[in-house]
Amino acid sequence: MSGLGKNQQKMLLLLLGGLTLAINTSPSGSHKIIRAVVKDWKRINRLRPERSLKTLEENKYIIFKKKGQIFFPMLTAKGRRQAFLAGLQELSIPTPPVWDKRWRVVLFDIPEEERKIRNVLRQHLKRMHFFSLQESVFVHAYDCEKEIRRLSEYFGNGKYIRFMEANWIDNETELKIHFKLH
């Protein structure tokens, strides 16, 4: 995220976590969100959160709303976008102890006029260690449907992005080397 430090990114994510908690209807989901927020807040609290909040306010990622005698930081639309993007930067594909011998294939056909989105999507897939079969076809060895849905949701181009699983790909040897499955 341009111009924001790790603490500021975490603060945006924490504020987004509060928003997510407010609209969440699942008790188990609420517990997960609360645990993550508490853990991150303890770390940030040691690192002078006032300065980070001031920078976020100056850059219009948050505004302060007064309720009674207390001011609460709230995400702006710009802040929500940046928080979601920060969350995408932390996306990773978990590696299970045993490979299920299935390949996950992501295909996309994003129009030329949305080239920037297409390029950023490619960058995210490469950062998550996908193997590029072609410019718009990427493969991963492990379950990643949830992560692909999040990317697709962020870029707003679900109609251009497809996900499938395959039992066999003709260059499987190269893929197994890439994913260290040999």
Condensed to tens digits (0 to 9), the pLDDT of residues 89-126 reads 778 899 999 999 999 999 999 899 988 888 888 999 99
Measured CA to CA in angstroms, residue 165 lies from 36, 93, 105, 142, 153 at distances of 31, 15, 6, 10, 20
Q: Please provide the CATH number assigned to the domain covering 103-178.
A: 3.30.70.240
For the chain, give the longest Cα–Cα distance.
66
Domain with CATH 1.10.10 in the chain: 6-89
pLDDT digits (tens, 9 = 90+) for 146-160: 889 888 877 766 788
pLDDT score of 1? 42
Q: pLDDT confidence of 57, banded at 50, 70, 90?
A: confident
CB 77 within 8 A of CB 91: no
Residues in contact with 83: Cβ distance below 8 Å, sequence separation at least 6, in sequence order: 9, 12, 13, 15, 16, 75
The pLDDT-based confidence of 136 (bands split at 50, 70, 90) is very high
Domain with CATH 3.30.70.240 in the chain: 103-178
Task: Give the distance from CA 30 to its chain's centroid.
Answer: 19
